[in-house]
Structure 1
Amino acid sequence: MNHTPFLDVVRAGAQVLYAKFLRPFLIAYQGDVDSSLNKLKSKVNEATKEAMNSVVDSVSSDRSDKTE
């Protein structure tokens, strides 16, 4: 792998941006982010269960219609 000074500068710049801006922001709002993601996860799980139940009901209904 070629080693170029440009990549060192880019890497150093990314580390500075992370250390000075992104990391403190993530730490400060970690609880809010976790809470929001947990709420989203719960809603997705609920919607998935409802969709699966709807599919199962539909398939069951189709099968009973065909046997009559």
Structure 2
Amino acid sequence: MEVVSFRIPHELKKKMKEVDINWSEEIRKFIEAKVREYRKKKALEEIDIMLANLPKTEKGTARKYVREDRDSN
């Protein structure tokens, strides 16, 4: 594991000591959730770019292909 440090106001540190919480674990969970959220957002942005670069099809193309598939059976 790596060590990460940051500064917080003195008053907040005092309040944290009054609460029975494993702050390291809570902060670790928060950071993991933020990283997952960021990665999902980036993946969706990349998918949007890929979809925007796909060739355009005329309206009704999917319906046409489904109908052709059903008729072929």
- 1:1-12 to structure 2, matched below 5 A, reads none
Q: Pairwise CA RMSD of aligned residues?
A: 2.1
Q: Distance in 1 between matches of 2:19 and 2:30?
A: 19
CA distance in 1: counterparts of 2:56 and 2:34, whole angstroms: 36
Q: Percent identity?
A: 5
Structure 1 letter corresponding to 2:38: N
Residue of structure 1 equivalent to 2:19: 24
Deviations 1:7-29 (A, max 9, x none): xxxxxxxxxxxx7xxx422xx31
- TM-score, normalised relative to structure 2: 0.48
Whole-Å Cα distance in 1 between the matches of residues 40 and 46 of structure 2? 10
Structure 2 unaligned runs (5+)? 1-14, 58-73
Q: How many residues align?
A: 42
Q: TM-score, normalised by structure 1?
A: 0.52
Segments ≥4 residues shifted beyond 4 Å: none
Distance in 2, Cα, partners of 1:31 & 1:43:
18
Query: Could you say which structure has the higher helix fraction?
Result: 1
Structure 1 unaligned residues grouped into runs of 5+: 1-18
**Rounded Cα–Cα distance in structure 2 between residues aligned with 1:44 and 1:60:** 25
Trace 1:26-65 onto structure 2 (pairs within 5 A): 28-61=21-54, 64-65=55-56
Aligned-pair CA distance for 1:65: 3.1
